[in-house]
Amino acid sequence: MNRNTLAVLVSFSLLLSNAQAAPAPEAARRLAQDATIVDTHIDAPEGLVDHWDDLALPTPGKEFDYPRAREGGLDVPFMSIYTSADQDDAGTAWQVANAMIDSVEALAQRHPDKFALLRSPKDLKRLQRGGKVLLAMGMENGAPLVDDIGNVAKFHARGVRYITLAHGRNNRISDSATDTQPRWHGLSPFGQQVVKEMNRVGIMVDVSHLSEDAIRQAVELSSVPVIASHSALRHFTPGFQRNLSDENVKAIAAKGGVVQVPFGSMFVDAPAAKAYADYVSAREAYRQAKLAAAAAGQAFTATEPQFPKVAPGSVAEVLDNIDRIVQLTGGADHAGIGSDFDGVNGALVSELHSVADYPVLVAGLQQRGYKDADIRKILGGNLLRVWSEVERAATP
């Protein structure tokens, strides 16, 4: 989810900051510290490029920084290398992506006592020594690949370990879940090459944001498990195409993959999802009308749509999504977490404010009867399994 589209919800996050969730029970805090927590979607890099913040220090106004990551037990945050459809259209996505990667590298270089870059799950235990937070990278939107298949290997060399094939609009790789009309009816011919090349070099295929057909085709084409880095279930948000159908959850799991549940209210709360979906439609209509007016040389005076104010969802709704993934797939092997911290402008469920709050999620899982071994899988074990499988199958 990105970025400025939800700015009007900031007032809600400010209210919530004055009503922090009750501390998690000690058993939940201990497990969060002892388990390996992997969060596959944190949008810190975009903010670093726009305005540099030293995230090794307490950083008010952000949802990820080192002190709170340690407080919450976070071990491996995937830093989102996000580029927009507009940047793709402008031809700047490649440059923007590389600048974001530079910003992640700078954090590790400036604070080698606190951060390290994680390029392989095999290095996790070694690099963790001394309490370091390990920064992995995932590319949200394949736009920076442009039309050069060689860029897949180049971004792998820079540390990218998953690629979300598309984002809010169709691109040259894949159809998006939220575009108005399909362009490829799934993956493009180039997109099929991209999936195969990602398999070859060892980059996880991420199907979040993709259309129903594109998800199905990517799962079928990939020779290794795929992930949904930050997607909840359409079962709880009827009509919200950005979320996953039950059928695609089952397909991802049947291939050995994992669905990483986000913490944004618009993913897990039906009224918020409906409001966001309506907003996306209105925003696209506004964009098309503005383009048409420009092409005709006419003045354009329409007011840009604004996201409506909605009440935040709750951690119970995040847990409901995890429960349903477990039920649909027959166990706890295919659920994980991809929070979208720093990516929804504060529009988070009310109990999960920052990376300090994973123990709240752990407590909820414990209260619902999950065994510690299964909680460990959900917190990070499942994602590390998939990453390891993708890496072992690579033939670079």
The 10s digit of each residue's pLDDT in 104-161 is 999 999 999 999 999 999 999 999 999 999 999 999 999 999 999 999 999 999 999 9
- Of 250, 41, 284, the C-alpha closest to 177 is 284
pLDDT of residue 137: 99
The answer to whether residue 5 scores a pLDDT higher than 70 is no
pLDDT of residue 24: 86
The string of pLDDT tens digits covering residues 242-285 is 999 999 999 999 999 999 999 999 999 999 999 888 888 898 88
Which of 26-35, 225-234, 294-303, 379-388 is least confident? 294-303
- Of 137, 69, 64, the C-alpha closest to 104 is 137
**Locus of tokens 């490829």:** 184
Q: Whole-model pTM?
A: 0.93
CATH code of the domain containing 344: 3.20.20.140
Task: Give Cβ neighbours of residue 295 (< 8 Å, ≥ 6 apart).
Answer: none
Using 50, 70 and 90 to split pLDDT, how confident is the model at 9? very low
Is residue 210 one of the residues assigned to a domain?
A: yes
Q: Count other Cβ atoms within 10 Å, centred on residue 384.
A: 18
Using 50, 70 and 90 to split pLDDT, how confident is the model at 22? low
Q: What is the CA radius of gyration of the chain?
A: 20
Range of the domain at 346: 4-274+312-393
Q: Count other Cβ atoms within 10 Å, centred on residue 15.
A: 12
The answer to whether residue 28 scores a pLDDT higher than 90 is yes
pLDDT of residue 45: 97
Structural domain count of the chain: 1
* Residue 258 near residue 382 (C-beta atoms within 8 A): yes
Is residue 286 one of the residues assigned to a domain?
A: no
Long-range contacts of 304-309 (CB under 8 A, 24+ apart): 305/279, 306/8, 306/279, 307/5, 307/6, 307/7, 307/8, 307/9, 307/275, 307/276, 307/279, 308/8, 308/275, 308/279, 309/8, 309/9, 309/11, 309/12
Per DSSP, 122 falls in state G
* Residue 14 near residue 356 (C-beta atoms within 8 A): no
> Angle 208-212-213 (CA atoms, 0-180°, nearest 5)?
115
The string of pLDDT tens digits covering residues 47-101 is 998 899 999 999 999 999 999 999 999 999 999 999 999 999 999 999 999 999 9
pLDDT of residue 308: 65
Amino acid, single-letter form, for residue 3? R
Is residue 73 one of the residues assigned to a domain?
A: yes
What is the pairing mode between strands 133-140 and 160-164?
parallel
pLDDT of residue 16: 40
- Helix spans in the chain (H): 10-17, 26-34, 44-50, 66-72, 85-90, 93-110, 124-128, 150-157, 189-201, 212-221, 246-254, 265-268, 270-295, 315-329, 358-367, 372-376, 382-393
Per DSSP, 187 falls in state B
Pairwise CA distance, residues 193 & 210, whole Å: 17
Buried b (16+ CB within 10 A) or exposed e, 297-310: eeeeeeeebebeeb
The string of pLDDT tens digits covering residues 302-352 is 999 987 677 899 999 999 999 999 999 999 999 999 999 999 988 999 999
pLDDT of residue 228: 99
- Of 48, 151, 155, 157, the C-alpha closest to 108 is 48
- Of 291, 290, 320, the C-alpha closest to 303 is 290
Q: How far is CA 98 from the centre of its chain?
A: 18
* Residue 245 near residue 325 (C-beta atoms within 8 A): no
Is residue 297 one of the residues assigned to a domain?
A: no
pLDDT of residue 156: 98
Mean pLDDT of 229-249: 97
Is residue 285 one of the residues assigned to a domain?
A: no
Is residue 298 one of the residues assigned to a domain?
A: no
Task: Give Cβ neighbours of residue 148 (< 8 Å, ≥ 6 apart).
Answer: none
Is residue 162 one of the residues assigned to a domain?
A: yes
Q: How far is CA 170 from the centre of its chain?
A: 18
pLDDT of residue 21: 52
The answer to whether residue 13 scores a pLDDT higher than 70 is no
Pairwise CA distance, residues 135 & 102, whole Å: 12
The answer to whether residue 187 scores a pLDDT higher than 90 is yes
Backbone angles phi, psi at 227, to 5 degrees: -125, 160
